[in-house]
Chains A and B, each alone.
Chain A
Amino acid sequence: MCLAVPGRVLDIGEKDGTRMATVDFGGVQKEVCLEYLPDLRVGEYAIVHVGFALQRLDEESARQTLALFEELGMLQEEFGDPWEQAAAQAGADSTWPFADGPFADGPLAGEATAPQHAQEEGRP
């Protein structure tokens, strides 16, 4: 219930005096209220919860965060333990959660059936 998911605005209109949009969630389309994000535009992404757009998703911030993670890797390459890095690289092509990687004692890969919301970005 508290799940909030990212979606892309397809079109914007009005209903009962309220600003509404059709939002696409990876193929599923829903009617969404834009009263809390009145300046959201067609083509933009927003976090949507129970039929309400609550916050714009900022692509620039997403890019910066990913760049930070990349940078962390570069620092590791510069100052880290080469043997650990070699081990990490050996498993670098594996998918989460590193069934063949350096932390291989981990979880049950693929044991559980993914729930409906497996592709969603986030919750409450």
Chain B
Amino acid sequence: MKYIDEFQDPALARRLLDDIHATVTRPWALMEVCGGQTHTIIRHGIDQLLPEQVELIHGPGCPVCVTPLEVIDKALEIASRPDVIFCSFGDMLRVPGTGRDLFQVRSEGGDVRVVYSPLDALRVAQDNPQRQVVFFGIGFETTAPPNAMTVHQAKKLGIRNFSLLVSHVRVPPAIEAIMKSPSCRVQGFLAAGHVCSVMGVGEYPELAERHRVPVVVTGFEPLDILEGVRRAVRQLERGEHTVENAYARAVRPEGNPAALAMLEDVFEVTDRAWRGIGVIPDSGWRLSARYRDFDAEHRFSVSGIDTREPAECRSGEVLQGLLKPHECEAFGTLCTPRSPLGATMVSSEGACAAYYLYRRLELGTAPAAATTPLEASPVV
């Protein structure tokens, strides 16, 4: 994309930083919702370039991280069946369930395959009519439309050996839950740009008004983050709390109508558990009654699984912005991308992974020779 260099221009970044420094008079705490934004912030050291008064709190916007242990364990059980081909995006392979992960299931003989697109999983089903093909359908509003289209296609083409293990989550109810928490310090949000590319901005004005927080739709390049911070701080200093779109090149106010229509057809809103956080009302999607036949939980009996979270893992606090990754005692010692306690360390968008990848030398938590980035986190 020809604008990538421009949106990383150090001279323009200085101008934005100058403006933020000139605007801020008091301490403000902003949450960047999306894990992709967290990685940009840590990788480019944006948090360290901002005025001391501006604190960036990392949000729960990593779909891999918030997928509940129970769902991971269901995936592991389904993937272990000899009649099943289990398809997943690559960054789910090392996410720990109770005692093992998908990578281990494959080494034990399970047919686990990594796909780039859910449509690839559908093709696997077409090529293997004698096997059951299950796709691991996790993700936020950006991933749900592709998965919805795939189930729609399966139904249209009459492919009966395909199903979806669904654990989709929605951002606005998570923001609502964060604002309602008694320990909440967040005063403004940088909303996740690509979620809004699909959903538009219509879900936010009421939320911004009710909690009196500015919401700035923000992109993922360094300048996008700085502009999001600049607009949020400007609103806070003026006592305003409106929704602004600072990522207009990829976000239309109405979102993507075709994708929204497909979501409406294939999914219905449901309560969802978020790993480390708990159940958030209306915060997820499940297959609607018309597509229930394609629900892997209905097709396979996977109830009654005994899930156990590692006691040392504090990713729930990290996901709620209550703890920075390096403040966890296990960070970089008991917990590394090679041997993760929780998904926040192994996901390519996890906050712990961002700190491990870009800050661990600075924090003195790693052996000097360790330079391998996220070795087990293939990017899809």
B90 and A1 within 8 A (CB): yes
Query: Given contacts A97-B49, A122-B36, are A51 and B250 in contact (CB under 8 A)?
Result: no
A10 interface residue, CB < 8 Å from B?
no
Bound CA–CA A88/B13 (angstroms): 11
- List the A side residues contacting B256 at CB < 8 Å: 36-37, 54-55
B140 with A103: CB separation less than 8 A: no
Give the residue name and chain of the A residue nearest to B15 (CB). A73
Given A38-B258, A64-B248, is A54 in contact with B145 using a C-beta cutoff of 8 Å? yes
- Report if A124 contacts B (CB, 8 A): yes
Inter-chain contact total with CB atoms closer than 8 Å: 252
A42 at the interface (CB under 8 A from B): no
Q: How far is the CA of A111 from the CA of B49 in the complex (A)?
A: 17
Contact across chains for A122 and B258 when beta carbons are under 8 A apart: no
Is the pair B252, A55 in contact by a Cβ cutoff of 8 Å?
A: yes
Cα(A92)–Cα(B4), bound, Å: 18
Closest B residue, CB atoms, query A111: B361
Q: For window 8-53 of chain A, which residues contact chain B by CB distance below 8 Å?
A: 8, 16-18, 26, 30-31, 33, 35-38, 45, 47, 49-52
- Given A107-B358, A122-B219, residue A4 in contact with residue B194 (CB < 8 A): yes
By the criterion CB–CB under 8 Å, are A96 and B12 in contact?
no
Shortest C-beta distance, B37 to chain A (Å), equals 7
Which A residue's beta carbon lies closest to that of B195? A124
Nearest opposing residue in chain B for A4, CB measure:
B194
CB nearest to A113 among chain B residues? B373
A-B contact pairs, 10 of them (CB 8 A): A2-B349, A3-B379, A57-B1, A73-B14, A88-B14, A88-B18, A96-B8, A101-B14, A121-B1, A123-B36
Instruction: Point out residues on B near A: beta carbons under 8 Å.
Output: 1, 3-4, 6-19, 22, 34-37, 39, 42-46, 48-49, 61-64, 89-92, 116-120, 138-140, 142-143, 145-146, 149, 153, 156-157, 192-195, 197-198, 219-224, 227, 246, 248-252, 256, 258-259, 262, 347-349, 357-359, 361-362, 371-374, 378-380
